[in-house]
Structure 1
Amino acid sequence: MNKTERMLAIVIELQRKGVLRAEDLAGRFETSVRTIYRDMQALSEMGVPVAGAPGVGYSLMEGYFLPPVSFTAEEATALLVGADFVELRLDAEYGSSARSSQEKIEAILPENVLEETARLRSAIRLLNDRTARTRGEEKETFEQLRRAIVRKRKIRFHYSKNLPGPDGSRHSERTADPYGLVLSQGAWVLVAFCELRGDIRHFRLSRMNELVVLDASFEVLPGFTLQDRRPADNRNVIVRMLVDPAVADLVQGADNFYMETFEPGEEGWLAMFRVRQVEELLQWTLGWGAAVRVLEPESLRDRMREEIDNMRQRY
């Protein structure tokens, strides 16, 4: 990063964060404090209203805004593809804002950058086939939740959860304080304080239905930050399988969500999975026929035998 680029980046950082010490800026841009002092002096001489207070740091005078900046083709592509993602995965209101943002970005790009950006974007495609069936429902749920989060309104909904055993699933009605939305492992998850459990819980949007935004308001628990929350990974069951070399490429290309490792062995390829319950891999494994053999656990081997016997009775 040359001096001009660094000075521009310093102004952007001050706009974003308000007040920064010379030591903070030096660490951010991997340079010396003395260099930051010189950069600040140069910015002041250029007419940028930088204010410095000993022991406090540097800031921009209130009301100052950085004039429009130019984008490289790579930067513009990142923004435009990001807008494509927002339009694809979020609700209609954000989708409209994303399209508007794209038009504004394209309008200010020089012709040569616009052409290069179009070429780069043509090499990137976002697909949403995996969630096509529930895309509309999830987007509607997402929009309702987003509005409830902004307005700090409680919600009520029915929630279904898959369980091991003969019952298969459990349904419950929940009232909760919606704190935030997280895209985790390809699925949207609501982080909320659940009144039924008396604690913060994670709810997959695909399992929520009959959502109602209530008039009652809520306050976020003191000290809560969404950045520190991560849906618990409770996939504690280890499954190992032996894969015939003839289908190894197909199995690996299937990109199973639960697969952790896929390595060559003496008799074939060894695949290791982590699941919450063995039923999560039952149908997938049956689909490969004799080309995939379960090594462990025995509970999945038993379920495979049981399902195969049921199939034989039908034929």
Structure 2
Amino acid sequence: MNKTERLLAIVMELQRSKLQTADELAEVLGVSVRTIYRDMMALSEAGVPIIGETGLGYSLMEGYFLPPISFTVDEAVSLLLGTEFIEKRFDPTFRKSARSSRRKIEAILSRPIREETDRIQGSIRLLQKDEMVLMMREKVNLGIIREAMTEDKKLRFTYHKRVAEADGNRVTVRTVSPYGLAHDEQNGWLLLASCDLREDIRHFRVSRMSDLTVTEDTFQTPDNFDLQAYRPKDTRSTQVCAIFNPEIADKVEEANSYYMETAESKEDGYHVTFRVREPEELLSWILGWGADVVVTEPESFINRVREEIGKMKEHY
């Protein structure tokens, strides 16, 4: 950051906050306190109305405003929530950029807009998983994935599936050409990539990857691949039917299982149809409803539920 950029950054920081000490400004800008003192003198000489209060800090004279862009309250809230989302859910590089962007947006808001934005933001909260888990399973991985995509190089990683595949394996080593990242509310960050093992495009949960390595092998994203338009192939071909206690129908609906296909309230209960690749994918979810659900088909899955309940009984 050169001196001109630093002087502008100081003015924006003072617009963002009513009062800032030299120590606080020095920390934000990554310079010494002595440099801040010199910059304040330069700004004053340039006609910027800076007020220095001994023992308190610096502020801008009331009414002074440098607005390169104007935002409505709704626009400002949208942008600030967006930076907060990126700061919480992306890798360290983007997190730092999001934090910097947020400070710049806050700095250019007029005081009335800023106060109203603060009020609205205070009524909205973005929930997130445990910060350390995200850092270990998603944030670090995202940084490596972005590196591979930027350099057009393939990735190699160990993938941990929740349900074993037909060969009984839950853990496989994959080499892929990373085409893009997508975020899903239920699954978190997903990598869309061409998988060498499956010879097709697959999507992988970033949180289920380990041992990520950027290889020396390069790839080229096909010209006809459109991340925004891409929809994964639906390979769910097995139907599972269940009847839930009607008293919890609203909870089942709110759970919004990815596998749920139809739901209908009838006299004997809340009838739900699921479509899965393997019934095992639904086992833990079904068991979580306890005695409030009865699986009616297929028979093989009914037997699998009985088997798992039997194993549970052995522990009690």
Q: What TM-score does the superposition give when structure 2 sets the normalisation length?
A: 0.70
Partner of 2:252: 251
The alpha-carbon deviation at position 301 of structure 1 amounts to 1.0
Matched, 1:141 2:141: yes
Partner of 2:221: 220
The alpha-carbon deviation at position 128 of structure 1 amounts to 1.7
Maintained 8 Å contact 1:152/1:219: yes
Residue aligned with 1:252, SS:
helix
**In the TM superposition, what whole-angstrom CA distance separates every residue of 1:94-143 from its partner, at most 9, and x where no partner exists?**
11111111111111111111111112212221112389735532111111
Maintained 8 Å contact 1:86/1:98: yes
Partner of 1:89: 89
Maintained 8 Å contact 2:137/2:208: no
Maintained 8 Å contact 1:160/1:171: yes
The alpha-carbon deviation at position 247 of structure 1 amounts to 3.0
Partner of 1:50: none
**In the TM superposition, what whole-angstrom CA distance separates every residue of 1:195-238 from its partner, at most 9, and x where no partner exists?**
33444333322332211112343333343332232233323322
The alpha-carbon deviation at position 144 of structure 1 amounts to 0.4
Matched, 1:154 2:135: no
Partner of 1:52: none
Q: What TM-score does the superposition give when structure 1 sets the normalisation length?
A: 0.70
Residue aligned with 1:127, SS:
coil
Name whichever of 129-138 and 194-203 sits farther off: 129-138
Within-5 A mapping of 1:151-230: 151-161=151-161, 162-163=163-164, 168-184=168-184, 185-230=186-231
Distance 2:181 2:287 in 1: 35
The alpha-carbon deviation at position 181 of structure 1 amounts to 1.3
Maintained 8 Å contact 1:164/1:279: no
Distance 2:304 2:130 in 1: 27
Distance 2:227 2:138 in 1: 21
Partner of 1:283: 284
Cα separation, partners in 2 of 1:307 and 1:193, compared to 1, 3 Å = closer
Partner of 2:100: 100
Distance 1:311 1:230 in 2: 38
Of structures 1 and 2, the one scoring higher in RCO (CA 8 A, sep 6+) is 2
Distance 1:152 1:129 in 2: 31
Maintained 8 Å contact 2:137/2:209: no
Residue aligned with 2:228, SS:
helix
Q: Return the letter of the residue paired with 2:260.
A: M
Q: Return the letter of the residue paired with 1:302.
A: N
The alpha-carbon deviation at position 262 of structure 1 amounts to 3.6
Q: Return the letter of the residue paired with 1:175.
A: T
Within-5 A mapping of 1:36-55: none
Residue aligned with 2:190, SS:
strand
Cα separation, partners in 2 of 1:242 and 1:200, compared to 1, 3 Å = closer
- Unpaired segments ≥5 residues, structure 2: 1-66
Cα separation, partners in 2 of 1:85 and 1:243, compared to 1, 3 Å = same
Partner of 1:110: 110
Partner of 1:122: 122
Partner of 1:292: 293
Residue aligned with 1:133, SS:
helix
- Unpaired segments ≥5 residues, structure 1: 1-66
Q: Return the letter of the residue paired with 1:282.
A: L
The alpha-carbon deviation at position 81 of structure 1 amounts to 0.5
Superposition misfits of 4+ residues, deviation over 4 angstroms: none
Cα separation, partners in 2 of 1:223 and 1:247, compared to 1, 3 Å = closer
Residue aligned with 2:68, SS:
coil
Partner of 1:303: 304
The alpha-carbon deviation at position 291 of structure 1 amounts to 1.7
Cα separation, partners in 2 of 1:82 and 1:238, compared to 1, 3 Å = same
Name whichever of 88-97 and 237-246 sits farther off: 237-246
Residue aligned with 2:143, SS:
helix
Maintained 8 Å contact 2:187/2:205: no
Q: Return the letter of the residue paired with 2:121.
A: R
Q: Return the letter of the residue paired with 1:279.
A: E
Residue aligned with 1:269, SS:
strand
Residue aligned with 1:220, SS:
coil
Provide the alpha-carbon RMSD of the alignment.
Answer: 2.5
Maintained 8 Å contact 1:157/1:175: yes
